[in-house]
Amino acid sequence: MDRFLKPERLDVDPSSPTSSEQWKHWLATFENFLTALPQENLDKKSLLVNFVSPRIYSSIAGSCTYEDVIQSLKSIFEKPVNEIYARHLLATRKQLQGESLDEFLRALNALAVACDCKA
């Protein structure tokens, strides 16, 4: 069963525009993989090192614990959202020609999430 949950190797360029989404997906996949494994004597940091590329490993090599590694990776991949720009995108979004109302509403909802708007 755990081979189906096995995550892909994390090899994402941190400067990529989709690196944050790829990181969040990889982390969720890795944590699902960890929960499927027997928990006694489980070395999470060693397992994580096996699933990252050498380029990413070089940025976490100095971390001592699993929690430190996760914090280091979060600081690398999770970029702060520019709320002002996100609100501008939401305020100026118009329905595209040929775009259905459902597609337009989905796009607006995605933009609202990015700017942390509450309904």
Tell me the pLDDT of the chain (119 aa) as tens digits: 456 678 889 998 888 888 888 999 999 999 999 888 888 888 899 899 999 999 999 989 888 899 999 999 999 998 887 889 889 999 999 999 999 999 999 999 888 887 876 65
Q: Is residue 2 part of a domain?
A: no
Domain holding 94, by residue range, is: 83-114
User: Are 22 and 50 members of one domain?
Assistant: yes
Amino acid 27: pLDDT: 94
Amino acid 119: pLDDT: 59
Q: How many domains does the chain have?
A: 2
User: Are 27 and 72 members of one domain?
Assistant: yes
Render 8-65 in DSSP notation, one character per residue.
PPB---TTSTTHHHHHHHHHHHHHHHHHHS--TT--HHHHHHHTB-HHHHHHHTT--S
Question: Model-level pTM greater than 0.75?
Answer: no
Q: Is residue 25 part of a domain?
A: yes
